[in-house]
Amino acid sequence: MIHEYALEPELVASWHDLQKYRLFIEMFDLGAGRVVSRYPKKWVKQVWDAFEADFGQTARPLDRNRMGKLLKKITKPVVKRPDCIWDAACDWLTNAEIEHTRKSFHTILARNNPRNNTIVVRESEVMEDTAERWDAPGTMTIPRTAEEIANCVAPMLRCATKILFIDPYFRANEERFRKPLAAFLRIVDTRTSKITIELHTADRDSAPCWEVFQQECEDRLPAVIPEGLTLTVHRWKEREDGEKLHNRYILTDIGGVSFGTGLDEGDPGVTDDVARLSADTYDQRLKGYDERNGAFDLDGKVPVAGRATG
């Protein structure tokens, strides 16, 4: 639903062309499910270098302005690869194919595919609407098992550096919640530095007092959180005549999805609908869980350090 795409700098440099600009700027919108990989770290500079080399002599101010707008839009958000592999002796595509073997991209988009690599999509295939691995479905229907719930968001979780799990009914003492949480967290790339993981839930009428809830989290959650990660659990109170804590989401720094029923396992045979959030909906929901200016009042929060090693 939300995937990482590596884009050849020389190819992107040609997107100042109005037809390509209009096509690709929409394909990499925040709510479109395609997130640009900052590969390598100086990827934006490589695009500008390619632009100057290939079009610098003929480009109009309008072309440069369009190129700047494109890069600003498609790199918000962006997937960072702080430990990426780069060999200056090789071209970008060769490097990207090697990097893919270390940590996979969903797709590599390039002008050509000289080695017939199945992970590489050529621009012409996208323009002609014949490219495999290019569609980014906005909804999925999945079985409500821990494995399937986690699998549908795995590409997003592998790339994210900030993750919010939101389920108003979460209880740490119930296995139906712990199993999907454990599956989610096993996917997270622990090699990523400064990763932030939060769980947000509600102080409902049927919920225990904060002290009991906190103790449940401290007793039950360390065993499902990988060692080296810390999960901060937030519990919120609704405000009178304010927003309701009901919907379930996973929100990250590269986009978000909503779950129709919950982040917990269901009975055998039960399914759930998962939908990718539009940019506007994502922004609104993310702001709602901000401690300083959010839509709810904080009942309490507790950081839980992981000790799971398997």
- Identify the DSSP state of 60: -
275 and 233 co-located in one domain: yes
Indicate whether 34 belongs to any domain: yes
SS3 12: helix
Query: What distance in Å separates the CA atoms of residue 96 and residue 79, rounded to the nearest whole number?
Result: 14
Residues 286 and 148 in one domain: yes
Strand partners, 45: none
Split into its structural domains, the chain has a count of 2
In a domain, 134, yes or no: no
The answer to the question of residue 229 being in a domain is: yes
Asked whether residue 133 is domain-assigned, the answer is: no
Element counts in the chain: helices (H) and strands (E) = 10, 13
Q: CA–CA distance from 105 to each of 43, 57, 79, 95 (Å)?
A: 15, 34, 10, 12
21 contact partners, CB below 8 Å, separation of at least 6: 15, 66, 70
- What tens-digit pLDDT sequence spans the chain (310 residues)? 999 999 999 999 999 999 999 999 999 988 899 999 999 999 999 999 999 999 999 999 999 999 999 999 999 999 999 889 999 999 999 999 999 999 999 999 999 999 999 999 999 999 999 998 898 899 999 999 999 999 999 999 999 999 999 999 999 999 999 999 999 999 998 776 689 999 999 998 889 999 999 999 999 999 999 999 999 999 999 999 999 988 999 999 999 999 999 999 999 999 999 999 999 999 999 999 999 999 999 999 999 999 998 7
